[in-house]
Amino acid sequence: MSGKLNVAFLWHMHQPYYRDPKNGKYILPWVRLHGLKGYSDMLAAIQKFGDVRVTFNFVPALLAQLDDLSSGRESDTYYDISLKPAEDLEPAEKKIMLKYFFSASWANMVMVHPRYRDLLNKRGRKMVESDIEDLSKRFTVQDFRDLQVWFNLAWIGWSAEDRYPIIGELKRKDRNFIEEDKRQLLDLQLQVLKDIIPNYRAAWDQGNIEISTTPFYHPILPLLVDNRSARISQPGDPMPGHSFLRPQDAREQLQRGLETAKQHFGRAPLGLWPSEGSVSPAVCELAGDTGFKWIATDENVLLATLNDVRREDSIYSSYLASIDGLTLFFRDHDLSDAVGFRYARNAPKRSADDLLGNLLNIAKSRPTPEESIVAIILDGENAWEYFPDGGKKFFEELYTQLTNHSLLQMCTFSEFAEKHPAKKILPPIFPASWINGSFRIWIGDPVKNLAWDRLGETAAFLDRQTAVATDTKVLEDAREHLYIAEGSDWFWWYGEPNHSVFEEEFDYLFRSNLIQIYREFGVEPPANLLEPIRVGGSRTSDSALFTIDPVIDGKETFFYEWIGAQEIDSDDFSGAMNLVSSVIDRLFFGFTESHFCLRLDPTNAFRTMVDLRVEVQFNKGAGLIHAIELTSFNSGEVKIDAKEGKSAGDIQAAFDHVLELKIPFNTLPHDEDSVPFSVRILQGNLELEKWPREGFYKCPQPTPEYLSENWII
């Protein structure tokens, strides 16, 4: 081995465009709150190291929102509610606070602070909408003021806390805040936001980082060029009733994205992370024409493009899209997912060691590691709330080891492209995204397809108006609303599989921008835009369960065996990113009249991994009461270890095509009407997955009352 393996991190910074077109107000707080935590902390994590080379990708619409919020020109609704004196809060504002001011990682950002935890307990962990009015009466003025402070205080990241002593002082005070405390905190937030863009610009000027960018409003470019391209990777899925072809919009979103990044950072980025890693031959051509030199996407796109090649022999090289064309890089999605989804629940050193161990294995497998690059690309903002300390110690461990490593070195994508120009020319790139090598997250679901039809109908109206309109300002404003509606986030949250407590807000923003296009021309919008976009109903995680009677043999013995149980797909991790490389594909839980039943459907990865453990944890209140560990799957048998000295004699378990488990209810802890549980998948001491990611599921107890209310023929 003659040189060091190149490791290129790309941290993607992105939020949807939250501005309400009716009044200019930002209706959700996530740009501000992630600015206080993820955007600030991620840069601070590299500034103490002299030889860190990473890439940060900024979505231009995020930069525009940071400008508005940090300057004070605009604010978000949650900031305004926080700023208002607690004694002056209106009933509707109190309702918003009780519903949404606990929106944070409960384990790491709420429960660790006594007063915030007490306020959550007072509200209730599972709040019912009809209870809000009574809850408001039980909350005192001081309760609401303390909640205003804690919601904003909990989202302050470790880097700001290191710089501003008042953060620690407020945390130690814990309760009985006064209005001046709150005012100081909110003023400090604006200062933290003001520093973000200048600090990143300075770091780029100093050579520590590279900045790349994305189309302005984060659209899925291949679908903007021609949404029929989704049929290539999704031949069996239903598609929208009308095709959507607007390559001119794709070009505009790219050009404006590049110009906006240049305005904010002083020079034009060379690199493009196309929204969600979505590419097609037309997108590569557009990116090159716009002036980008490199583009990154996912390994599955490369494997589908090349067909019949070994993953390990192909994904650690750069490629050319055409002669003298773009340089293309492909992310290692296993390592990227490990950082984004797995490492938060493990000790920082163990997680860093695991990542470095994997990188070392790659380095040793390459004949010329200095000519190879491992691209680790993931969300740069959302993962860190799941780390107990916001990821600080993980980055300290990781960056310390990488900057002093004899076989590994960090680099930016532009540095690698300059030192090692790509030589291999790819055939036309397979049209797909980074999620499962398709566009299914944004098109192909009935609700998503309906949203595409609404977008297409409005774009056609705009084209008709463009042909006859004379007011240039009206046309520009109308086009802007169309560009906003072309963003990926609206389609992400429509239909399956992703769900959010803010789904109504996302639907409202999408339709409001389309409605505004009609109103710019004084035309009444179609009635179908005045109602929420939905098709039928969606399955919920708390739907009623019915008695089942599975045969515990590790097989799908008969079709109806688990009908009546709750089914949860790996896609239901949802959130801001999807877990691509899970080891469990589906989880079922349910009950017989006397037993709790659990089924796990493994992926191929599960079957090939060694030293795996499945731990089923049963909880009561906040504490772990009982755990059952299952091991030895490769032999087709299952070894059962009931922890805390409990007997495993009454437990049944089997593994073949699936893993099945059956446990008597009378041996398990329970609350009044359910059994709370969670499932951890571990390899050695490293946690790979936890279902659910936070908290626990609740399996109803089959009491006579429950069964009389929920039955099926």
Question: Would you list the domain boundaries of the chain?
Answer: 70-195, 446-529, 566-709
Lowest-confidence region among 283-287, 340-344, 358-362: 340-344
Domain 566-709 fold is Immunoglobulin-like (2.60.40)
CA distance 121 to 76: 27
Residue type at 332 in one-letter notation: D
What 3-state DSSP class applies to 600?
strand
Task: Give pLDDT, residue 493.
Answer: 95
Please list, residue by residue across 543-556, b when 16 or more beta carbons sit within 10 angstroms of its beta carbon and e when fewer do.
eebebbebebebeb
Q: What is the pLDDT of residues 535-557, one digit of tens each?
A: 743 333 445 677 888 999 888 77
Q: Which of the two residues, 53 and 693, has the higher pLDDT score?
A: 53
Tracing tokens 């190149």 back to the chain, one arrives at: 6
pLDDT at position 556? 79
Both structure tokens of 181: 């405390």
Q: Which of the pair, 704 or 469, is modelled with greater confidence?
A: 469
The pLDDT of residue 596 is above 50: yes
Query: DSSP of 235-282, one letter per residue?
Result: TTS---SS----HHHHHHHHHHHHHHHHHHHSS--SEE--GGG-B-HH
Q: Which burial class, exposed, middle or buried, applies to 588 when counting CB atoms under 10 A from its CB (0-12, 13-18, 19+)? A: buried
Contact 533, 451 (CB under 8 A): yes
pLDDT at 712: 41
Q: How far is CA 602 from CA 65, 162, 297, 387, 657, in A?
A: 42, 43, 27, 26, 8
Peptide bond into 692 cis (omega under 30): yes
**pLDDT band of 642, cuts 50, 70, 90:** confident
Contact 241, 453 (CB under 8 A): yes
Structure tokens at 425: 């020319």
How is residue 666 written in tokens? 């009378």
Residue 294 and residue 272 in contact, taking contact as beta carbons nearer than 8 Å: yes
The pLDDT value given to residue 455: 98
Judged against a pLDDT cut of 70, whether residue 488 lies above it is answered with: yes
State residue 574's pLDDT score: 41
Q: Do residues 426 and 321 make contact, with C-beta atoms less than 8 angstroms apart?
A: yes
How far is residue 493's CA from residue 496's CA, in Å, rounded to a whole number? 8
How does strand 639-642 pair with strand 623-631? antiparallel
Structure tokens at 149: 């402070």
- What is the mean pLDDT of the segment spanning 65-87? 96
Residues in contact with 15: Cβ distance below 8 Å, sequence separation at least 6, in sequence order: 30, 31, 34, 59, 61, 62, 65, 381
CA angle centred on 232, ends 228 and 235, rounded to 5°: 95
Asked if residues 513 and 244 have their Cβ atoms less than 8 Å apart, the reply is no
Six token digits for residue 127: 């709040």
**At which residue do the structure tokens 């903002």 appear?**
381
Residues 6+ apart with CB under 8 A from 482: 249, 455, 458, 459, 462, 513, 514, 517
What is the pLDDT, as a whole number, of residue 646? 56
Give the pLDDT confidence score for residue 711 in this predicted structure.
46
Q: What is the mean pLDDT of the chain?
A: 90
- The Cα–Cα gap between 230 and 207 comes to 39
Mean pLDDT of all residues in 655-667: 89
Predicted confidence band of residue 278 (pLDDT cuts 50, 70, 90):
very high
Q: What is the rounded CA–CA span in Å between residue 62 and residue 344?
A: 25
Give the relative orientation of helices 60-71 and 247-265 as an angle to the nearest 10 degrees: 50
- pLDDT tens by residue, 424-473: 999 999 999 999 999 999 999 999 999 999 999 999 999 999 999 889 99
* Phi and psi angles of residue 392, each rounded to the nearest 5 degrees, phi first: -60, -50
Q: What is the pLDDT of residue 579?
A: 45
**Confidence (pLDDT) at 690:** 85
Whole-structure pTM value: 0.85
Mean pLDDT of all residues in 120-146: 90
Among 443, 444, 491, 429, which residue's Cα sits nearest to residue 300? Answer: 429
605, amino acid identity: A
Of the candidate ranges 186-195, 213-222, 270-279, 339-348, the one whose mean pLDDT is the lowest: 339-348
Task: State the pLDDT confidence band at 577, using cuts at 50, 70 and 90.
Answer: very low
d(CA 501, CA 486): 22
Q: Torsion angle of alpha carbons 561, 564, 566, 572, nearest 10°? A: 80
Range from 60-64, 507-511, 687-691 carrying the lowest mean pLDDT: 687-691
In this prediction, residue 657 carries a pLDDT of 87
Q: What is the pLDDT of residue 2?
A: 65
The single-letter code of the amino acid at 101 is F
| pLDDT, tens digit (0-9, with 9 covering 90-100), for 386-428 | 999 999 999 999 999 999 899 999 999 999 999 999 999 999 9
**CA separation for the pair 398, 657 (Å, rounded):** 37
Q: Residue 485 is encoded by which pair of tokens?
A: 């509606």
Scanning the structure block, which residue is given the tokens 């989704």?
230
Q: What gap in Å lies between CA 709 and CA 490, rounded to an integer?
A: 37
Which among 471, 371, 466, 468 has a CA at the least distance from the CA of 422? 371
For 81-110, write each residue's pLDDT tens digit: 999 999 999 999 999 999 999 999 999 999
Spell 136-159 as b/e; 16+ CB within 10 A means b.
beebeeebbbbbbbbbbbbbbbbb
- Is pLDDT above 60 for 645? no
Q: Which two tokens stand for residue 13?
A: 């910074």
Would you state the pLDDT for residue 537? 37
367, HSE (Cβ side, Cα atoms, 13 Å): 1
569 CB-contact burial (10 Å; exposed 0-12 / middle 13-18 / buried 19+): middle
pLDDT > 50? residue 285:
yes
Of residues 269 and 50, the one with the higher pLDDT is: 269
Mean pLDDT on 175-204: 97
- CA dist., res. 202 & res. 267, Å (int): 12
